[in-house]
Structure 1
Amino acid sequence: MLRFVDIDQAYPEKRSETERRQDFNEIYRPFDPVKAKDQASRCSQCGIPFCQSGCPLHNNIPDWLMLAGEGRLEEAYEISSATSTMPEICGRICPQDRLCEGSCVVEKSGHGAVTIGAVEQYITDTAWKEGWVKPIRPGAPRGASVGIVGSGPAGLAAAEKLCEAGYAVTVYERSDRAGGLLMYGIPGFKLDKAVVQRRLDRLTEAGVEIRTGFEVGRDATLADLRSEHHAVLLATGVYAARQLTCPGAGDGVIAALDYLTRSNRNDLGDAPDSGDRLSAKGKRVVVIGGGDTAMDCVRTAVRQGAASVTCLYRRDRENMPGSAREVKHAEEEGVVFEWLSSPLAVLTKGEAITAVRVQGMRLGAPDVSGRRAPEPEPGRTFDVGADMVISALGFSPEDIPALFQAPDLETHRDGRIDGDLATKMTSLDGVFVAGDLHRGASLVVWAIRDGMDAARSIESYLSNRLQVLGAAE
């Protein structure tokens, strides 16, 4: 260990920009075992591991880096998987530069962070290959069932932990495939769908029932689920797209999730749409937004054969909320970024989009979040030619109380479901909430954390309830 002085930071080899623009395969090649071991050995084994506190799951990062650096990969996997239900997924899509690697002491010392995410992915991918990932072992039956609404990362994490605890678990998913954002929201070049599917298969093989095509509110109300199960977890995520409001932003502007879902369906082999509205092939594409969803859109458009791809963001590069690594990948693949730019209007000729009129911005005084607020820069406007405009401005919760016919389910003013911070219990007894539906649009790793926390609360709630019922009998 402690080899960060004589071994430089290195990531797995990336496929060339030319090659990766042609397909939706993951951009990194498998980590060379010798190089992965060397990178793990760069860990400084700090007395106070800031990487661990910078991880929402508080993964025991120094421990599994030490084991990987010593070539003890199976033990490294056991440590890695002890605190995360999806370490290879987090290794692929977490913004490590803002979390564990951004907190790394080696990074702060000027030697470049330990490549934690790449090593985490390597450890678990190796574990799957070698058969070290064992089937889930359901606990002794507890005589109680839990219904989970939503099969995204929060719902899946909770399902695994509750199954291990001995509860009968049914997951309700309104789409035709399980996985939520992992399956339909994140492109294959970041997360191969086979990686998600093997996690889903592992759950169903353990006895977790996943009912796809089941929409709460249409096929059953929340009250129906409460009568069928001893506890219910709401983990639907947030899917109401924030709308672009400038003149011309009508039906011609495409919502990011609609675009990404269609692309992921194509990648999964579903029948294509009859039209080409959601295809960027040959088009001048403008994406509005600065988060990871916007980066997914611009990089998808490149792979679909767009004539040009431009990203408009109202702040500068340093204040962009998305991963800096994703921005770099996008630039390598030919995306043009117009920083400090906000749409004034979407210009059309007839029904066809022709351009986006842009207002140049500048950064003013910090707002309540501490970030410098963008404001218009007088006299700086310009047009960006466009045939296709994608809005990637983030997501808000749907009206869950109305959709689920549960008017007594309390929400925050912004539509998030209100839940106790410690227990995740909502205003309805036995109904819990986890993930983005509770905290707002956030990271997959936070959804996993919330799902695991909710599972522990549900287990405690049901244990107490079953004891009371047993005593009454």
Structure 2
Amino acid sequence: MAERMLKFVHTPQKIPQKRTADMRVQDFDEIYNRFETNRAAEQASRCSQCGVPFCSVHCPLGNNIPDWLRLTAEGRLQEAYEVSSATNSFPEICGRICPQDRLCEGNCVIEKGFESVTIGAVERYITDTAFENGWVQPIQPIAERSESVGIVGAGPGGLAAAERLRRLGYQVHVYDRYDRPGGLMIYGIPGFKLEKDVVLRRWKYLEDCGVQFHLNCAIGDGADDTMSFAELRQTHAAVIIATGVYKARDIGGPGAGLAGIVPALDYLTASNKRGLGESVADFDSGLLNAEGKRVVVIGGGDTAMDCVRTAVRQGATSVQCLYRRDRANMPGSLREVKNAEEEGVDFVWLSAPEAFLGDDHVTGVRAVRMHLGLPDTSGRQSVEPLAGSHFNLDADLVIKALGFDPEDQPKMFAEKGLEISRWGTLKINHRTFMTSVPGVFAAGDIVRGASLVVWAIKDGQDVAAQVHDFISQPVPVAVAAE
């Protein structure tokens, strides 16, 4: 091991070549080129193979990162893929969109002084190579089971659960109201972070594994062409709700109802559908198109970063991001902030909107300067407005990227027995993942609130194990009284 590893002392960190900002803003292709074979092995060899791998500790999936880095350094890529995919249902996706700077790479023990191992880029390289070489083979369960499981939602949580349950031999049916699986990976995350062919490749793989998809199939109360939740429960031995959270948080204030103020997900979905070759009326009309417009995005998370960088590519004349805290307190990835700045986005820190200007259509945002106050109960500093610090930003399009809340699940499914938390998320037994309705489980954002794709994958894998335990429990046998 010593000959091939621990090379961080004399081998500098090299990330895959990043296309120049001038080039990448012309399209929606991924901004990083792929590692060359020798470069991937070289960068993997920088791993220190430490006794306590903090990269794994801080990975929600507990990926065996040092092991597949060593295998990559040794040129044993097929084995590296097998180790990587043992804990992660979608390593090529996590390698692209996980905030590695906050998770594995940000906790690499050589980060201080030598810069971290480029874990995400190597992870992506391993799985892309595996697909190209035919190493990713359809699942062949040891034995087929007669029981079926219904999964509502084809996002990362639902797909991860489907993959794990199929390995156990269950007949898996995934229901989704959209025409493609992937959830926000298809319709929310732009192609420059995650090209859609990568997601569609996993869809094809899962179909080859025997997972059955029911697309354009909304689950509801049975009215308006929806399949009733009650019917779903009768059809399957267990049901998993993995719908995610899609209800946009709104913002009030004078002028909040003006035309030209749009939710982030509507805006991103329109752009992604156009990229998939679909016709989108609101994009063609200009409502959800930033071309030639002065754009202001409100928010500081990864969704806000997706919006500002999409607007640049659509040809906006200016793009500004209005965020009430400073750079150090951004909830999104700082790597994404840097990429946005390179592409010409102007960040207006410590500023919050107070009103929207215009008559029939928005023409600007009236904002106020903020300052950071004392920490609140969570330990995060509060924000307070500075008196007399108002200023205006010109805007033809304002995009609200303030986060997402759950839809009203009990009402949507006509299932009053589903208990929800005070945040509107589904209540579950956190050991078994079961909701208040027997045989109905839930996982992902619909339980934890809007979060990372990697956490949804983790929850999907965990809920699959609990569903297996539930179905495998022996049925009690009644004993006749003597």
TM-score, with structure 1 as normaliser: 0.97
Residues 140-159 of structure 1 mapped to structure 2, 5 A cutoff: 140-159=143-162
Partner Cα distance (1:207, 1:304) in 2:
39
Query: What residue is the counterpart of 2:267 in the other structure?
Result: 259
Residues 107-118 of structure 1 mapped to structure 2, 5 A cutoff: 107=111, 109-118=112-121
Which digits, 9 at most, give the CA deviation of each residue in 1:5-43, with x for residues without a partner? 111111100111111101000001111222211111111
Is 1:180 equivalent to 2:183 in the alignment?
yes
Residues 52-451 of structure 1 mapped to structure 2, 5 A cutoff: 52-107=56-111, 109-217=112-220, 218=223, 219-250=226-257, 252=259, 253-273=261-281, 274-348=284-358, 350-451=359-460
Aligned to 1:365, the other structure's residue is in SS state strand
Per-residue deviation at 1:134?
A: 1.2
The letter of the residue matching 1:245 is G
1:427/1:251 Cα in 2 relative to 1: closer, same or farther (>3 Å)? Answer: farther
Aligned to 2:240, the other structure's residue is in SS state strand
RMSD of aligned Cα (Å): 1.2
Partner Cα distance (1:391, 1:149) in 2:
27
Partner Cα distance (2:201, 2:142) in 1:
21
Aligned to 1:124, the other structure's residue is in SS state helix
The letter of the residue matching 2:98 is C
Per-residue deviation at 1:84?
A: 0.3
Aligned to 1:44, the other structure's residue is in SS state coil
Which digits, 9 at most, give the CA deviation of each residue in 1:253-300, with x for residues without a partner? 100000000000000000132411000000000000000000000000
Which digits, 9 at most, give the CA deviation of each residue in 1:182-223, with x for residues without a partner? 110100000010000010111111221111111111422222
The letter of the residue matching 2:241 is L
Equivalent residues of 1:139, 1:167 under 8 A apart: no
Per-residue deviation at 1:251?
A: 5.0
Segment drifting more, 130-139 vs 184-193: 130-139
Partner Cα distance (1:133, 1:311) in 2:
41
Is 1:26 equivalent to 2:26 in the alignment?
no
1:94/1:471 Cα in 2 relative to 1: closer, same or farther (>3 Å)? Answer: farther
Partner Cα distance (1:370, 1:39) in 2:
37
Partner Cα distance (1:138, 1:80) in 2:
20
Identity of aligned residues (%): 60
Aligned to 1:98, the other structure's residue is in SS state coil
The letter of the residue matching 1:249 is A
Per-residue deviation at 1:176?
A: 1.6
Aligned to 2:173, the other structure's residue is in SS state strand
Partner Cα distance (2:148, 2:420) in 1:
25
Equivalent residues of 2:92, 2:127 under 8 A apart: yes
1:471/1:101 Cα in 2 relative to 1: closer, same or farther (>3 Å)? Answer: farther
Aligned to 2:319, the other structure's residue is in SS state strand
Which digits, 9 at most, give the CA deviation of each residue in 1:317-343, with x for residues without a partner? 000000000000000000000000100
Which digits, 9 at most, give the CA deviation of each residue in 1:289-315, with x for residues without a partner? 000000000000000000000000000
Equivalent residues of 1:138, 1:206 under 8 A apart: no
Which digits, 9 at most, give the CA deviation of each residue in 1:132-155, with x for residues without a partner? 111122342221110000000000
Partner Cα distance (1:27, 1:169) in 2:
35
Equivalent residues of 1:435, 1:450 under 8 A apart: yes
Equivalent residues of 2:258, 2:360 under 8 A apart: no
Detail structure 1 runs of 4+ shifted over 3 Å in the superposition. Answer: 469-472
The letter of the residue matching 1:378 is A
1:82/1:334 Cα in 2 relative to 1: closer, same or farther (>3 Å)? Answer: same
Equivalent residues of 2:362, 2:397 under 8 A apart: yes
Partner Cα distance (1:26, 1:82) in 2:
26
Equivalent residues of 1:153, 1:447 under 8 A apart: yes
> Size of the alignment, in residue pairs?
468
Partner Cα distance (1:471, 1:84) in 2:
42
Per-residue deviation at 1:469?
A: 7.2
Partner Cα distance (1:285, 1:30) in 2:
32
Per-residue deviation at 1:72?
A: 1.2
Which digits, 9 at most, give the CA deviation of each residue in 1:327-378, with x for residues without a partner? 0000000000000010011101x31211101110000001122111111012
Partner Cα distance (1:291, 1:30) in 2:
26
The letter of the residue matching 1:417 is L
The letter of the residue matching 2:289 is S
The letter of the residue matching 1:52 is S
1:278/1:468 Cα in 2 relative to 1: closer, same or farther (>3 Å)? Answer: same
Partner Cα distance (2:253, 2:457) in 1:
36
The letter of the residue matching 1:284 is R
